[in-house]
């Protein structure tokens, strides 16, 4: 039988041409969707779009809710195209079924110019589904939330199109009933109206008929000028239940007869459990079982605190997997050795590094440490293995990928595994595929106590010491300036623990460039961390360009503007930031102002930071003025919240964040030795959103990268000290002689 319906995934490309991708809905798929995710009185009209008899429009979101607001902003995009009554709009999480894979994400990346080969896969997706996806089909078998992609890929290339198609189907259903041409019908407030006769139908009255129609192959999309819901600040749906404690996060899952598990994992990554005397735990109250895994010891008890205390009472012996000699200091040495060895060329323009010979050479090396994610909710999962079937509850950034991973760990076929994607207390990249150790341990624990649901919770210490860290990397720059101080050559040699990073490419117009890469892999597991590669390349590039500006005797803002003359959006962002921050207003001694601009996930963000350095060397970040061009904001208040949060996330890392390795293991364990920003540290934050005609950019991550360089550039302006490594807390700040110029 021929496919009964086809849903379009398409949208306007960066060049403005209509780009259309197809996701075929084979016959029966709609019924399958209804079986999976519809209640009585409602049905799917198109992908992700359900309409109920009472007009309720439910948008089924193929992403997780980690607090970024997409469970409200994606419905805004659907409601806009559907001309829905906003008071009748809801959202819910899609089931972790391949039917609801967020293939639009893949489409979005294809359309935005990524080729889908393993080396080109954006880092936040690497490691997904066992590193095996080399084809678009596999790529689409995901429900990832990462890469600031929900709005700009799923929304733009998916939900918005499906909603427009659904609207046309509703119109067709009404026009058929009235036997009038569709073009004489309009839609408003969840009704199809025939103005000539004054008749109208509610969407709920039409939904059943509409859902039986073929989708229009080219649904008409609204131009931005006609938007009435998108672009307006709306209250998020999820907030009321987050102020009264009723949101059920992964850690809050309760099952009848549930047991609790606490774990101690080999402190050195790759180490194995050698021996353990389990008696000390087994005799304790409530302990049900002590489980020896190859690289960890787990205690299962009737209450969590009993499991936690029992596992702490053990004295297991773990091997070091041959990594016991690794320390942060010798990792730094290895990076330097790699940069002095053979490099792989990533970018060469003009005469590349040969142009260094033509002027005064400036050389600087930058580095950043490992960082933990430290989500507020420590990693956890609840798993129940009974009668050959596995059921798992957890908060992750990929529901379908989690289900696949659990099946793999358990050695079960996918149809024997159910996964319940729960709201989560922070993600920041920690809960993406490739970083699922908490799922693996929970599943292995559940398999060892068949018949009983068990909730495994990492203590904060285990969470911090068994993360997948933001990598510890360095960059070595060389540049020469021409007679007017502009850079004529730009050389960046950097280390990566992965493939070359497009984020090392620069916005600035510099004629001769060489960007070369050295790979340094350690035994420390690494993974995506909010804004991924931009988080360190932003610091490196925006610090070094600042050095060049000062050496050229130029104003750092004017210097950047000159080098961005061919990029009007970036120049406009900088210019507005200069204006709003009062860039040219002089500051008293001990205070300084710094600027940084980074484009990340297609959104341009400039921060201007103002700092005060006390006579005692104490740093206070007083103010951050931020200008953001994300094309447009679907929910402007939501985007502001994301930028505020991203600034403070970046500030925690800039000021304090550092995970160090000694004897192969992580030295930090909790907030006292891994401090993060608290209320007392928070600067005044002022955000200005620019609406441009550009395609929508990401919202969750782009606010993070420019924070560290804006602050360190401000410290330089105030003191003359150039900080080339983070965190700032490792430096004793004092007034140095201002550099020349």
Partner 1 sequence: MGVVLNVNGKVHELDVEPDAPLLWVLRDELGLTGTKFGCGIAACGACTVHIDGEARRSCVTEVATVAGARIVTIEGLSAEGTTPVQQAWIAHQVPQCGYCQSGMVMAVSALLARNPAPSDAELRKAVTNICRCGTYPRICAAVQQLAAEKS
Applying CB under 8 A, the residues found at the interface with partner 1 are: 66-69, 235-236, 238-249, 251-252, 254, 260, 285, 303-305, 308, 374-378, 423-428, 457, 459-460, 637-638, 641-642, 644-649, 652, 670-672, 676-680, 682, 685
How large is the greatest C-alpha to C-alpha distance in the chain, in angstroms?
84
In the bound state with partner 1, the residue whose beta carbon lies nearer, of 622 and 644, is 644
End-to-end CA distance of the chain: 76
Strand partners, 264: 297
Tell me how far, at minimum, the Cβ of 677 lies from partner 1, in Å: 7
The Cα–Cα gap between 101 and 62 comes to 6
In the bound state with partner 1, the residue whose beta carbon lies nearer, of 365 and 619, is 619
The Cα–Cα gap between 413 and 388 comes to 10
In the bound state with partner 1, the residue whose beta carbon lies nearer, of 207 and 651, is 651
In the bound state with partner 1, the residue whose beta carbon lies nearer, of 425 and 471, is 425
Burial of 329 (0-12, 13-18, 19+ CB in 10 A): exposed
Which spans in 250-314 are helix H?
Answer: 279-282, 304-312
Tell me how far, at minimum, the Cβ of 287 lies from partner 1, in Å: 13
In the bound state with partner 1, the residue whose beta carbon lies nearer, of 272 and 580, is 580
Q: Would you state the structure tokens that stand for residue 495, as one six-digit string?
A: 């280390």
Tell me how far, at minimum, the Cβ of 653 lies from partner 1, in Å: 11
The Cα–Cα gap between 495 and 724 comes to 15
In the bound state with partner 1, the residue whose beta carbon lies nearer, of 422 and 573, is 422
- Which helix (H) or strand (E) is 45 found in, with range? strand 42-46
The Cα–Cα gap between 71 and 58 comes to 11
In the bound state with partner 1, the residue whose beta carbon lies nearer, of 179 and 244, is 244
In the bound state with partner 1, the residue whose beta carbon lies nearer, of 176 and 247, is 247
CA dist 504 → 423, 514, 542, 563, 673 (Å) = 34, 11, 11, 17, 31
The Cα–Cα gap between 683 and 647 comes to 10
Residue of 245, 225, 173, 162 whose CA lies nearest to 203: 173
Tell me how far, at minimum, the Cβ of 690 lies from partner 1, in Å: 20
Residue of 408, 374, 375, 371 whose CA lies nearest to 392: 408
Strand partners, 46: 49
Tell me how far, at minimum, the Cβ of 569 lies from partner 1, in Å: 26
Q: Would you state the structure tokens that stand for residue 178, as one six-digit string?
A: 């009235």
User: Are the C-beta atoms of 709 and 539 separated by less than 8 Å?
Assistant: yes
The Cα–Cα gap between 85 and 75 comes to 11
In the bound state with partner 1, the residue whose beta carbon lies nearer, of 63 and 308, is 308
Tell me how far, at minimum, the Cβ of 301 lies from partner 1, in Å: 10
Tell me how far, at minimum, the Cβ of 87 lies from partner 1, in Å: 16
In the bound state with partner 1, the residue whose beta carbon lies nearer, of 174 and 301, is 301
In the bound state with partner 1, the residue whose beta carbon lies nearer, of 331 and 646, is 646
State whether residue 28 is helix, strand or coil.
coil
Angle between helices 636-655 and 707-719 (to 10 degrees): 60
Strands 603-613 and 619-629: antiparallel
The DSSP-derived string for 313-370 is T---EE--TT-TT--HHHHHHHHHHHHHS--EEEEEETTGGGGGGGSEEEEEEEEE-B
In the bound state with partner 1, the residue whose beta carbon lies nearer, of 114 and 237, is 237
Tell me how far, at minimum, the Cβ of 704 lies from partner 1, in Å: 10
User: Are the C-beta atoms of 407 and 697 separated by less than 8 Å?
Assistant: no
Tell me how far, at minimum, the Cβ of 247 lies from partner 1, in Å: 6
Tell me how far, at minimum, the Cβ of 63 lies from partner 1, in Å: 14
In the bound state with partner 1, the residue whose beta carbon lies nearer, of 207 and 372, is 372
Tell me how far, at minimum, the Cβ of 426 lies from partner 1, in Å: 5
Q: Would you state the structure tokens that stand for residue 434, as one six-digit string?
A: 């490739």
Tell me how far, at minimum, the Cβ of 405 lies from partner 1, in Å: 22
Buried b / exposed e along 671-686 (16+ C-beta atoms within 10 A)? eeebbbbeeebebebe
Tell me how far, at minimum, the Cβ of 180 lies from partner 1, in Å: 43
């Amino acid at each position: 039988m021929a496919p009964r319906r086809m849903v379009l995934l398409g949208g306007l490309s960066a060049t403005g041409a209509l780009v259309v991708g197809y996701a075929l809905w084979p016959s029966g798929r709609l019924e399958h969707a209804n079986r999976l995710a519809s209640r009585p009185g409602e049905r799917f009209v198109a992908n992700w779009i359900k309409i109920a008899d009472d007009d309720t429009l439910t948008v089924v979101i193929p992403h997780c809710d980690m607090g970024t607001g997409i469970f409200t902003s994606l419905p805004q995009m659907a409601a806009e195209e559907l001309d829905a009554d906003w008071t009748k709009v809801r959202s819910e999480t899609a089931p972790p079924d391949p039917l609801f894979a967020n293939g639009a994400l893949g489409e979005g990346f294809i359309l935005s110019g990524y080729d889908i080969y393993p080396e080109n896969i954006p880092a936040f997706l690497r490691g997904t589904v066992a590193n095996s996806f080399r084809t678009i089909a596999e790529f689409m078998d995901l429900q990832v939330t990462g890469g600031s992609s929900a709005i700009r890929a799923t929304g733009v290339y998916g939900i918005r199109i499906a909603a427009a198609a659904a609207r046309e189907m509703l119109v067709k259903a009404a026009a058929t009933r009235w036997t009038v041409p569709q073009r004489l019908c309009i839609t408003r407030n969840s009704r199809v109206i025939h103005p000539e006769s004054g008749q109208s139908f509610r969407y709920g009255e039409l939904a059943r008929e509409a859902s039986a129609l073929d989708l229009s192959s080219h649904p008409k999309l609204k131009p931005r000028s006609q938007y009435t819901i998108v672009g307006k600040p709306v209250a998020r749906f999820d907030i009321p239940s987050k102020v009264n404690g009723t949101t059920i996060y992964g850690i809050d899952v309760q099952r009848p007869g549930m047991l609790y598990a606490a774990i101690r994992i080999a402190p050195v990554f790759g180490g194995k459990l050698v021996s353990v005397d389990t008696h000390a735990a087994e005799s304790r109250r409530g302990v049900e079982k002590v489980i020896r895994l190859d690289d960890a010891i787990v205690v299962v008890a009737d209450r969590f605190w009993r499991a936690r205390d029992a596992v702490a009472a053990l004295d297991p012996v773990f091997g070091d997997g041959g990594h016991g000699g690794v320390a942060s200091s010798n990792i730094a040495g290895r990076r330097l050795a790699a940069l002095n060895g053979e490099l792989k060329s990533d970018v060469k323009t003009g005469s590349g590094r040969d142009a260094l010979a033509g002027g005064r050479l400036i050389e600087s090396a930058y580095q950043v440490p490992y960082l933990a994610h430290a989500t507020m909710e420590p990693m956890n999962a609840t798993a129940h293995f009974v009668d050959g079937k596995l059921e798992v509850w957890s908060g992750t950034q990929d529901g379908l990928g989690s289900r696949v991973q659990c099946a793999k760990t358990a050695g079960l076929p996918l149809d024997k595994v159910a996964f319940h994607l729960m709201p989560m207390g922070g993600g920041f990249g920690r809960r993406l595929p490739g970083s699922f150790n908490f799922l693996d341990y929970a599943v292995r624990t559940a398999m060892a106590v068949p018949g009983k649901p068990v909730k495994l919770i990492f203590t904060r210490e285990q969470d911090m010491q068994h993360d997948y860290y933001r990598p510890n990397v360095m960059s070595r720059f060389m540049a020469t300036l021409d007679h007017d101080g502009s850079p004529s050559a730009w050389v960046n040699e950097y280390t990566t623990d992965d493939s070359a990073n497009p984020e090392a490419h620069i916005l600035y117009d510099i004629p001769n460039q060489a960007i070369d890469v050295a790979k340094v892999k350690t035994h420390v597991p690494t993974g995506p961390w909010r804004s991924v590669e931009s988080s360190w390349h932003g610091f490196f590039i925006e610090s070094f360009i600042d050095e060049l500006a000062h050496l050229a005797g130029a104003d750092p803002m004017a210097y950047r503007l000159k080098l961005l003359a061919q990029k009007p959006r970036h120049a406009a962002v900088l210019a507005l930031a200069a204006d709003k921050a009062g860039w040219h207003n002089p500051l008293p001694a001990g205070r300084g102002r710094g600027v940084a601009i980074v484009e990340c996930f297609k959104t341009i963000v400039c921060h201007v930071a103002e700092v005060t350095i006390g006579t005692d060397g104490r740093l206070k970040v007083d103010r951050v003025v931020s200008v953001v061009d994300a094309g447009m904001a679907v929910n402007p208040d939501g985007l502001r919240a994301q930028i505020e949060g991203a600034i403070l996330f970046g500030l925690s890392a800039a000021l304090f964040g550092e995970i160090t390795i000694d004897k192969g293991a992580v030295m930090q364990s909790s907030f006292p030795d891994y401090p993060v920003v608290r209320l007392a540290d928070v600067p005044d934050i002022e955000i200005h959103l620019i609406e441009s005609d550009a395609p929508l950019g990401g919202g969750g991550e782009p606010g993070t990268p420019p924070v560290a360089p804006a602050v360190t550039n401000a410290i330089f302006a105030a003191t003359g000290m150039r900080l080339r490594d983070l965190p700032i807390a490792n430096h004793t700040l004092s007034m140095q002689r201002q550099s020349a110029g």
